[in-house]
Each structure stands twice: as C-alpha cells, then as structure tokens.
Amino acid sequence: MYVIRKYPKLLLFIVSVIIVFFFFSGLLYEPLHDVLILLGYFGTFLAGLLYPYAFTSAAGTAILIIIAKEQNLLLAGIVASAGAFISDIIIFFFVKFTFSKEMQGLSKEAVVQKLSRLMPDSIRTYMLTCFAAILIASPLPTEMGILLMTSIKKITTKKFVAIIYLLHVAAIFGILLLSKK
C-alpha cells in the first residue's frame, strides 16, 4: 500500500507497459495488427500522438514497431513525428501554465539553492538540457523532459519547439529503422 501511495504515477506507468505487452504479444496481437494496418497513416499519426505521454508511450512505440514493417519509413516517420509534435505542444503549454508556480517554489528550496551555488550556470544549463533531451527523445516520460526544459530561463519558445521536434523525429525514425530489420 505504501508504494502505491508514494509512487502512484510510476506504478501506473509500469502497469501500462505490462498491459501493452499483453496486447501486443498475446492472442489480441493479430486483430490489433490488422486494425493498425487498416488505419494506414492515420494509425501512424495516432502512434505519434501516443508516443510522448508517459502512460501511452509503450503503446505508441509498439504501434510504430508494427507499422515499420508495412509502411514507407520516410512518410511514416514524418506523419508520426507530426503527431508527437502536437502532443509535445499540448504538454508544453500544460506544464508551462500548470507547474510554473511549483517550479518557482522549487527553485527557492535549500537543496536546489545549494546545488545551484555548487555548479556554474552554463554547466547546469547544459546538463539540464542534455538530461531533458534524453527524456524527450526516449519512450520515457516526455512530461519530465519538457518540465526540465521549461525551467531553463534562456530557452525561447521557438528554440524549444525546434528542439523537441528534432528530438522526436530522431527517436521515431530510430524506432522505425530498428523495427524494419
């Protein structure tokens, strides 16, 4: 019970991965595969929409793996990246306007202040950007990467949008290329 109360989102993420595993590896795989292929590039777009969100990233990745064998990789990558981009923009505005007070409060905490004094701004910004980029590009929770990225004061919205789009393009093409084999 303690784990459920302390880490409910992490537990929900693990449960979502297990559910996706059963859907895509068991008896439901054939009908699901057929539906995804029947949806064509619209299904690819949906996979892109699902890819950035923590609880649906496993499903989005699984769908990308399935369609990689059936569709043109270049077109599938562009369509899925467009879906991921739309999701990223939604996450960005949600995080920016919902968590801004919490981020300001967090920056005033003693631990954060101490870490800030130990590390020069340029190095901290670089490390934060790299870690956020890894979270955004991978099927891990993009929300955390975007939250970290929005905490960087020097990054403009235009730069942010370009960075997240390029990261998801690279990640989605990587998944599609690895799945093609």
Provide the residue type at 21 as one letter: F
Query: In this predicted structure, what is the pLDDT of residue 9?
Result: 61
Q: What are the φ and ψ backbone dihedral angles of 42, each rounded to 5 degrees? A: -65, -40
Full pLDDT tens readout for the chain, 181 residues = 565 665 566 566 667 667 766 666 655 556 766 777 788 889 899 888 888 877 777 778 888 888 878 888 899 999 999 999 898 888 877 777 776 666 666 666 676 677 667 777 777 777 878 888 888 887 776 777 877 777 776 777 888 888 888 888 898 888 888 887 6
- The model's pTM: 0.72
168 exposed, middle or buried (CB, 10 Å; 0-12, 13-18, 19+)? buried
Mutual angle of helices 29-39 and 57-68, in 10-degree steps: 70
